[in-house]
């Protein structure tokens, strides 16, 4: 078992991260085809659970099923509403092999939904059935990665409670391989230009149909070669690049157009939870203030255990 906020080393572990990402892409094809489209693609995202990542319930001929990507035991578990479990061991097999094994499980469970196709939001979208490249796997690294996602989700979940307006759940998007929570001002946004690799522009434009302040965590890659947290607004408010946020380790990444806080700065802080909350709250205040959100109506104190939010007191204030 790993304690909270484990050390992550993108340079040495990125090949294992890429394997997790690739397998999740295969699983992710199921909700895109089996479920009605939910606003902002929330139906395709995966909640972080104590043992890994899971799908939302998927319809079968006889009821429902769900898939668990079990990071602790290096396996994928398909559970149907009759209580039966079917598993695929994760050993670093090729994506093509995993695709075939998962397809066999779905057939056995009577789930007719296709998982054919290729990955989204990556530059080289090799079709799953033809991706025979060797893959790296290390169970200890996968457990560390999941623990980091779980810690991030816990703090981001607390942050989510401090907002009265529309907010997404805290969940993992398998295309971009990031954990996200998004707040909405309630106003429509300009049409997004799209342009993400191997992702239909219609998906992007629906996701960004309204003004957002979005926050998240990803294990590294692209413009940031380390695990990091991020915060951005769409549309980007004028002057956001010059806003002052906290903690000191956070910075504006000009190429991404986002605030970035290295994961290492959080895990080594005296109080990692407080360090991350400071980043989330200060970056939100910068975005909301510069975009002229109605913060008096939208912002509330973060939730307390067992105590519902006092609407009457908020209206008096």
pLDDT tens-digit series, residues 167-216: 999 999 999 999 999 999 999 999 999 999 999 999 999 999 999 999 99
Distances (CA, A) of 285 to 89, 218, 233, 313: 44, 22, 11, 22
Say if CB 188 and CB 178 are below 8 A apart: no
* pLDDT score recorded for residue 316: 73
* pLDDT score recorded for residue 178: 97
User: Which residue, chain included where needed, has tokens 């040495």?
Assistant: 12
Question: Is 304 a domain residue?
Answer: no
Asked whether residue 200 falls in the same domain as residue 86, the answer is no
Tell me the pLDDT tens digit for each residue of 17-56: 999 999 999 999 999 999 999 999 999 999 999 999 999 9
Residue 115 clears pLDDT 90, i.e. is over it: yes
Question: Is 223 a domain residue?
Answer: yes
Number of residues written out for the chain: 317
Q: Which residues contact 315 (CB under 8 A, 6 or more apart)?
A: none
Q: What is the average per-residue pLDDT within 65-70?
A: 97
> How does residue 61 score in pLDDT terms, banded at 50, 70 and 90?
confident
Calculate Rg over the CA atoms of the chain: 20
Average pLDDT of the chain to the nearest whole number: 95
Measured between alpha carbons, how far is 205 from 95 in angstroms, rounded to an integer? 29
Asked whether residue 189 falls in the same domain as residue 222, the answer is yes
Q: What is the average per-residue pLDDT within 271-285?
A: 98
* pLDDT score recorded for residue 1: 43
Question: Is 68 a domain residue?
Answer: yes
Cα separation of the two ends of the chain:
46
Asked whether residue 229 falls in the same domain as residue 292, the answer is yes
% of the chain surpassing 70 pLDDT: 99
> How does residue 2 score in pLDDT terms, banded at 50, 70 and 90?
low
% of the chain surpassing 90 pLDDT: 92
> How does residue 98 score in pLDDT terms, banded at 50, 70 and 90?
very high
Asked whether residue 184 falls in the same domain as residue 92, the answer is no
Q: What is the average per-residue pLDDT within 242-255?
A: 97
Q: Which residues contact 308 (CB under 8 A, 6 or more apart)?
A: none
Identify the burial level of 191 via C-beta atoms within 10 angstroms of its C-beta, where 0-12 means exposed, 13-18 middle and 19 or more buried. exposed
Half-sphere exposure of 191 (CA within 13 A, CB side): 3
Tell me the pLDDT tens digit for each residue of 297-309: 999 999 888 878 8
Asked whether residue 113 falls in the same domain as residue 211, the answer is no
34-38, 105-109, 289-293, 303-307, range with the lowest pLDDT: 303-307
Chosen domain end from 103, 130, 157: 130
State the angle between helix axes of 95-108 and 10-34 in degrees (0 to 180), rounded to the nearest 10. Answer: 30
Question: Is 312 a domain residue?
Answer: no
Half-sphere exposure of 152 (CA within 13 A, CB side): 32
Asked whether residue 149 falls in the same domain as residue 277, the answer is yes
Residue 65 clears pLDDT 90, i.e. is over it: yes
Chosen domain end from 75, 96, 130: 130
Asked whether residue 196 falls in the same domain as residue 101, the answer is no
Residue 7 clears pLDDT 80, i.e. is over it: yes
9-13, 92-96, 110-114, range with the lowest pLDDT: 110-114
Chosen domain end from 66, 101, 130: 130
Q: What is the average per-residue pLDDT within 117-136?
A: 96
Domain range for 85 is: 10-130
Question: Is 305 a domain residue?
Answer: no
Number of domains in the chain: 2
Q: What is the average per-residue pLDDT within 294-298?
A: 94
Q: Which residues contact 162 (CB under 8 A, 6 or more apart)?
A: 281, 299, 300, 301, 302, 303
Residue 150 clears pLDDT 70, i.e. is over it: yes
Asked whether residue 255 falls in the same domain as residue 272, the answer is yes
pTM passes above 0.85: yes
């Amino acid at each position: 078992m790993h304690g909270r906020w484990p050390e992550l080393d993108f340079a040495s572990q990125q090949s294992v991260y890429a394997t997790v990402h690739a397998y999740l892409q295969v699983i992710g094809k199921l909700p895109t085809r089996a479920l009605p489209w939910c606003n902002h693609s929330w139906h395709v995202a995966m909640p972080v659970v104590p043992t890994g990542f899971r799908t939302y319930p998927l319809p079968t001929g006889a009821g429902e099923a769900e898939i668990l990507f079990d990071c602790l035991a290096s396996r994928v578990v398909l559970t149907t509403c009759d209580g039966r479990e079917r598993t695929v061991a994760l050993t670093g097999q090729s994506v093509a092999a995993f695709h075939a094994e998962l397809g066999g499980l779905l057939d056995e469970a009577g789930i007719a939904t296709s998982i054919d196709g290729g990955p989204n939001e990556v530059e080289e979208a090799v079709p799953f059935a033809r991706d025979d490249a060797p893959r790296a796997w290390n169970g200890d690294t996968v457990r560390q990665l999941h623990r980091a996602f779980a810690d991030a989700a816990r703090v981001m979940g607390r942050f989510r409670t401090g907002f009265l307006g529309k907010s997404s759940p805290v969940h993992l998007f398998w295309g971009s391989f990031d954990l996200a929570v998004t707040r909405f001002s309630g106003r429509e946004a300009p049409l997004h230009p799209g342009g993400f690799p191997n992702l239909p522009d219609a998906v992007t434009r629906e996701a960004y149909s309204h003004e957002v302040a979005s926050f998240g965590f990803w294990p590294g890659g692209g413009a940031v070669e380390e695990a990091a947290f991020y915060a951005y607004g769409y549309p980007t408010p004028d002057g956001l690049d010059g806003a002052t946020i906290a903690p000191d380790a956070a910075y504006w990444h000009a190429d991404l157009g986002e605030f970035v806080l290295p994961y290492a700065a959080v895990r080594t802080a005296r109080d990692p939870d407080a360090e991350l909350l400071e980043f989330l709250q200060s970056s939100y205040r910068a975005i909301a203030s510069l975009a002229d959100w109605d913060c008096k109506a939208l912002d509330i104190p973060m939730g307390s255990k067992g105590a519902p939010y006092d609407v009457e007191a908020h209206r008096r204030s």
